């Protein structure tokens, strides 16, 4: 569980804003709408900003505290999608390194998420489960313990069934559709 998150369970089907106005009373409607717009509401672990997002009976809604919202606002090019006792899942923008390369001073996703988890306790650590190239945007998982990291890495090929990459190209494309298939390999270059 995220210590900056408070959880509420929908007792009946409803819409997110209506549900949260009732749960967060006596906060004003405008205050709750602002929290929604800032991405402080998570439905089943996913950030939701749509006021009329449908809630099913039994769904959990997490509310990120203002302190937690300030921590996540300090992240640049990295958005936290999910956090619990074992994992942090982020959405990394293109242009940001996953981990340090030759320039150790460069800000990386790893460095930002480490700083984020250490704001509560300097001894907190994260462990790299996998990486994405600098120019690739996408979802990354960091483990909060070495044990979780090892379990994920040991089972990575059964957990991740498929990877899909979408490329944005510029200029004249001779074949408007098709498929390029290649095996990625790691080398010194």
Joined together, the tokens standing for residue 6 give: 């408070």
Tell me, what's the pLDDT at 163?
80
- pTM (two decimals): 0.58
Tell me, what's the pLDDT at 2?
57
CATH fold for domain 1-65: 3.10.290
Tell me, what's the pLDDT at 120?
66
Do residues 56 and 12 lie in contact, with contact meaning Cβ atoms separated by under 8 Å?
A: no
Sheet (strand 46-47) strand order: 5-9, 60-64, 41-43, 46-47
Tell me, what's the pLDDT at 173?
76
The structural domains of the chain, with segments of one domain joined by +, span: 1-65, 74-164
Tell me, what's the pLDDT at 46?
80
Tell me, what's the pLDDT at 189?
62
pLDDT in tens, the chain (189 residues): 556 778 899 999 999 999 999 999 888 888 888 888 777 888 887 888 888 999 999 999 988 876 655 566 568 888 888 888 899 899 999 989 988 877 666 789 998 899 888 876 788 899 999 999 888 899 999 999 999 999 999 988 888 888 887 777 788 877 777 777 777 676 766
Q: How many CB atoms lie within 10 A of CB 17?
A: 17
Which residue is listed with tokens 């996408």?
Answer: 138
Q: Going by C-beta distance under 8 Å and a sequence separation of 6 or more, which residues neighbour residue 60?
A: 7, 8, 9, 10, 43, 44
Do the two domains 1-65 and 74-164 of this chain adopt the same fold? no
What homologous superfamily is domain 74-164 in, according to CATH?
A: Pseudouridine synthase (3.30.2350.10)
Counting every residue written for the chain, the total comes to: 189
Tell me, what's the pLDDT at 109?
92
Tell me, what's the pLDDT at 73?
55
Side-chain half-sphere CA neighbours of 96 within 13 A = 21
């Amino acid at each position: 569980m995220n210590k900056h998150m408070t959880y509420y369970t929908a007792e009946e089907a409803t819409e997110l804003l209506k549900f949260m106005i009732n749960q967060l009373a006596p906060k004003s409607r405008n205050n709750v709408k602002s929290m929604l717009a800032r991405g402080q509401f998570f439905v089943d672990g996913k950030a939701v900003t749509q006021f009329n997002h449908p809630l099913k009976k039994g769904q959990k809604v997490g509310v990120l505290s203002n302190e937690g919202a300030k921590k996540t606002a300090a992240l640049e090019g990295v958005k936290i999608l999910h956090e619990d006792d074992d994992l942090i899942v982020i959405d990394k923008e293109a242009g940001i390194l996953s981990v340090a390369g030759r320039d150790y001073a460069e800000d990386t996703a790893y460095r930002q998420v480490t700083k984020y988890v250490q704001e509560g306790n300097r001894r907190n650590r994260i462990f790299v489960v996998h990486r994405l190239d600098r120019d690739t945007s996408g979802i990354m998982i960091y483990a909060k313990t070495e044990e979780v990291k090892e379990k994920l890495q040991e089972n990575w090929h059964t957990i991740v069934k498929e990877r899909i990459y979408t490329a944005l190209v510029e200029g004249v494309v001779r074949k408007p559709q098709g498929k390029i298939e290649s095996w990625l390999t790691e080398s010194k270059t």
